[in-house]
């Protein structure tokens, strides 16, 4: 069934229906646009939320960054940011595949519909013009026929009138004959116009309009089919990104499962352990006997009582529960930060000094490499002047030399402080390269040329981690054993790797720096973090 056959007389209905269909497409496009705006605003709010709580730290060495719960929270925020990106992708794909595509298609349909309606209007105007011609010829035929009848009646009346002359009768008959001839011509013209109109009317109702109506039907069905595809795309667009959204949500779940409360507790111990021993019992001083006993300090200088703590370490809060004064002033609870980290407890001070030494050594190695490179470049320029002027490197070489001298001074300074802080010699032993009088590495003479003296390889590290004297020492008898609670990679030189649950022999106790020396059954020795194991010493 088609519109041309069944709706041949429903032009106005078809015109209204097709217009309503196009308006529905426009309404759907507007709906999708508003949906994309919602998605974009949602994504923007999610990104702002993630940014608000994901404040970038100036350094990854911040204490909180080492907690698994903190890191998992950052992972959650990153996943939420990725999730927001997928919502933006949904909005972008909807705009491209639905809004823009349907808007373009809608314009084509409007133009096509306009063309069909113009054809229908043109056919209707042609039929109306033919009908007007028919009506005009019909009225002319009616008028001329009446005139012919009156002329015939007048001629007959004149012929019967006895008073009329023969000339009058003849004139009346000629007039009647002429009128009859004209009426006959109008009759023939009317018949021809009627035949023409009927033919055009038949063409209009059985050919032209049905064809136009069928074209409009095809247009409307294509519109409906395209609109249905738009409905499906509305769902498929989101389905396509659901796997990635699922991965984002899985990432959030994984961030939750990665939280390890025990590790976080160990990190708190590692970061906050002071290295002080608990104060011992106060001894009774019998003033009645006049005895003044001198208290003996422990090797770590452990305070013997609260007053001793407050007297020697007023900048440190040794009370478990400190009493706040009514007037809160940061100066009263916050010790002044010093370059040698003397404001920190012994354990934390040693760690900070060791970190600072590592940073200085890395920077010093960089400057040494730079010095070597400049020396080689100067040597090349001297041998091949066309490649460059050796004098142009003088300022850089001078600056590098000054940097090396400055870093050497800082290195010696921090090594001295580390020794004062009780850093173990067999924990970290820093070795510096030899430098010439200009502060350059010995591989170069002051003028940048290679010297003939044997010098250390500049590519070797500025410092070496841990002693390798284990092979030269006699095996020390174990003083206990320990069981690993966590895996430890032992990537640094002087450390030893261990697996969770592994049992090792304890060779040397933790001396307050957070490391314990252990030995395997095969004789391998090295240091492990004390907080990673449970230790039981021999009685």
Q: pLDDT tens, position by position, for the chain (539 residues)?
A: 899 889 888 999 999 999 999 999 999 999 999 999 999 999 999 999 999 988 665 445 566 777 889 889 999 999 999 999 999 999 999 999 999 999 999 999 999 999 999 999 999 999 999 999 999 999 999 999 999 999 899 888 888 888 878 888 888 889 889 989 999 999 999 999 999 999 999 999 999 999 999 999 999 999 999 999 999 999 999 999 999 999 999 999 999 999 999 988 988 888 777 777 788 888 888 888 765 544 444 444 444 444 444 444 444 444 454 444 444 444 444 556 777 787 777 777 778 888 888 889 988 998 898 888 888 888 888 888 877 788 888 888 899 999 999 898 888 888 888 887 776 433 333 344 444 434 444 433 334 334 343 334 433 333 344 344 444 445 778 899 999 988 888 877 778 889 999 999 999 888 777 788 999 988 889 888 888 889 998 87
Alpha helices in 204-304 (DSSP H): 209-257, 261-272
Domains of the chain: total: 3
- Confirm whether 442 is domain-assigned: no
Which has the closest alpha carbon to 255: 81, 82, 74, 55?
74
How far apart, in whole angstroms, are the C-alpha atoms of residue 8 and residue 217?
12
Helix axes 11-53, 209-257, angle to 10 degrees: 20
Domain boundary among 234, 258, 282: 258
pLDDT at 472: 44
Domain boundary among 421, 445, 472: 421
Identify whether residues 402 and 513 lie together within a single domain: no
How far apart, in whole angstroms, are the C-alpha atoms of residue 360 and residue 370?
15
Q: Which domain holds residue 73?
A: 3-258
- Confirm whether 185 is domain-assigned: yes
Please answer whether residues 360 and 411 qualify as being in contact, where contact means their C-beta atoms are separated by less than 8 angstroms: yes
- Confirm whether 432 is domain-assigned: no
- Confirm whether 40 is domain-assigned: yes
Identify whether residues 20 and 133 lie together within a single domain: yes
Identify whether residues 96 and 20 lie together within a single domain: yes
Identify whether residues 229 and 158 lie together within a single domain: yes
The token duo for 77 is 């925020």
- Confirm whether 32 is domain-assigned: yes
Give how far the C-alpha of residue 41 lies from the chain's centroid of Cα atoms, to the nearest Å.
15
Please answer whether residues 119 and 11 qualify as being in contact, where contact means their C-beta atoms are separated by less than 8 angstroms: no
Please answer whether residues 264 and 287 qualify as being in contact, where contact means their C-beta atoms are separated by less than 8 angstroms: no
Give how far the C-alpha of residue 456 lies from the chain's centroid of Cα atoms, to the nearest Å.
48
Identify whether residues 91 and 206 lie together within a single domain: yes
How far apart, in whole angstroms, are the C-alpha atoms of residue 62 and residue 67?
10
pLDDT at 112: 95
Backbone angles phi, psi at 435, to 5 degrees: -125, 150
pLDDT at 227: 95
Question: Cα dist. 244→80, 232, 248, 345 in Å?
Answer: 12, 20, 6, 48
- Confirm whether 399 is domain-assigned: yes
Identify whether residues 103 and 246 lie together within a single domain: yes
Identify whether residues 242 and 354 lie together within a single domain: no
How far apart, in whole angstroms, are the C-alpha atoms of residue 504 and residue 478?
10
CATH number at residue 523: 2.30.30.40
CATH number at residue 221: 1.20.1270.60
Identify whether residues 227 and 129 lie together within a single domain: yes
Please answer whether residues 104 and 96 qualify as being in contact, where contact means their C-beta atoms are separated by less than 8 angstroms: no
* Element housing 526 (H / E): strand 525-529
- Confirm whether 297 is domain-assigned: no
Identify whether residues 414 and 486 lie together within a single domain: no
Number of Cβ within 10 Å of residue 38's Cβ equals 12
Domain boundary among 227, 258, 289: 258
Please answer whether residues 526 and 482 qualify as being in contact, where contact means their C-beta atoms are separated by less than 8 angstroms: no
> Mind spelling out the 3-state secondary structure of 343-409?
CCCHHHHHHHHHHHHHHHHHHHHHHHHHHHHHHHHHHHHHHCHHHCCHHHHHHHHHHHHHHHHHHHH
Q: What is the DSSP letter of 467?
A: -
- Confirm whether 437 is domain-assigned: no
Sequence-ordered list of residues with C-beta below 8 angstroms from that of 248, at least 6 positions apart, any chain = 79, 80, 82, 83, 86
Identify whether residues 152 and 237 lie together within a single domain: yes
Backbone angles phi, psi at 60, to 5 degrees: -75, -5
Identify whether residues 398 and 528 lie together within a single domain: no
Identify whether residues 212 and 75 lie together within a single domain: yes
């Amino acid at each position: 069934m088609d519109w041309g056959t069944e709706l041949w007389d429903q032009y106005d209905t078809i015109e209204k229906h097709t217009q309503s269909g196009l308006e529905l497409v426009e309404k759907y496009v507007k709906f999708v646009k508003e949906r994309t705006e919602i998605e974009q605003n949602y994504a923007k709010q999610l990104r702002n939320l993630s940014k608000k709580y994901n404040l970038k730290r100036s350094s990854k060495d911040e204490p909180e960054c080492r907690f698994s719960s903190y890191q998992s929270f950052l992972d959650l925020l990153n996943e939420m940011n990725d999730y927001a990106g997928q919502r933006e992708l949904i909005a972008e794909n909807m705009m491209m595949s639905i809004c823009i595509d349907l808007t373009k298609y809608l314009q084509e349909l409007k133009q096509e519909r306009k063309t069909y309606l113009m054809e229908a209007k043109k056919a209707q105007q042609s039929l109306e013009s033919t009908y007007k011609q028919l009506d005009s010829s019909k009225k002319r035929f009616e008028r001329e026929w009446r005139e012919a009848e009156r002329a015939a009646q007048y001629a007959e009346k004149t012929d019967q009138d006895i008073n009329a002359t023969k000339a009058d009768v003849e004139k009346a008959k000629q007039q009647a004959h002429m009128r009859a001839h004209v009426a006959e011509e109008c009759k023939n013209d009317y018949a021809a116009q009627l035949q023409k109109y009927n033919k055009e009317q038949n063409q209009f109702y059985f050919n032209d309009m049905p064809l136009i109506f069928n074209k409009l039907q095809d247009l409307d069905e294509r519109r409906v089919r395209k609109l249905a595809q738009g409905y499906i795309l509305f769902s498929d667009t989101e389905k396509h990104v659901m796997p990635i959204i699922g991965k984002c949500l899985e990432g959030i779940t994984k961030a939750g499962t990665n939280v390890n409360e025990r590790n976080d507790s160990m990190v708190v111990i590692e970061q906050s352990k002071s290295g002080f021993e608990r104060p011992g019992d106060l001894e009774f001083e019998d003033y009645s006997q006049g005895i003044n006993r001198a208290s003996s300090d422990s090797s770590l200088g452990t305070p013997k009582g609260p007053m001793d703590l407050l007297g020697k370490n007023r900048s440190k809060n040794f009370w478990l529960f400190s009493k706040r004064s009514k007037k809160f002033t940061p100066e009263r609870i916050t010790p002044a930060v010093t370059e040698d980290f003397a404001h920190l407890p012994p354990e934390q001070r040693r760690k900070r000094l060791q970190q600072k030494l590592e940073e200085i050594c890395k920077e010093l190695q960089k400057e040494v490499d730079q010095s070597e490179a400049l020396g080689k470049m100067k040597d090349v320029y001297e041998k091949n002047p066309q490649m460059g002027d050796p004098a142009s490197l003088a300022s850089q070489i001078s600056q590098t030399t000054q940097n090396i001298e400055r870093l050497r001074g800082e290195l010696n300074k921090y090594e001295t402080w580390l020794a004062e802080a009780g850093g173990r010699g067999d924990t970290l032993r820093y070795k510096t390269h030899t430098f010439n009088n200009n502060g350059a590495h010995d591989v170069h003479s002051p003028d940048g040329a290679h010297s003939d003296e044997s010098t250390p390889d500049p590519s070797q590290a500025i410092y070496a981690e841990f002693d390798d004297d284990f092979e030269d020492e006699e095996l020390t008898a174990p003083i206990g054993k320990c069981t690993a609670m966590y895996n430890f990679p032992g990537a640094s030189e002087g450390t030893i790797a261990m697996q969770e649950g592994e049992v090792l022999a304890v060779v040397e106790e933790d001396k307050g720096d957070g490391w314990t020396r252990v030995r395997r059954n095969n004789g391998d020795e090295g240091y492990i973090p004390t907080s990673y194991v449970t230790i039981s010493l021999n009685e």
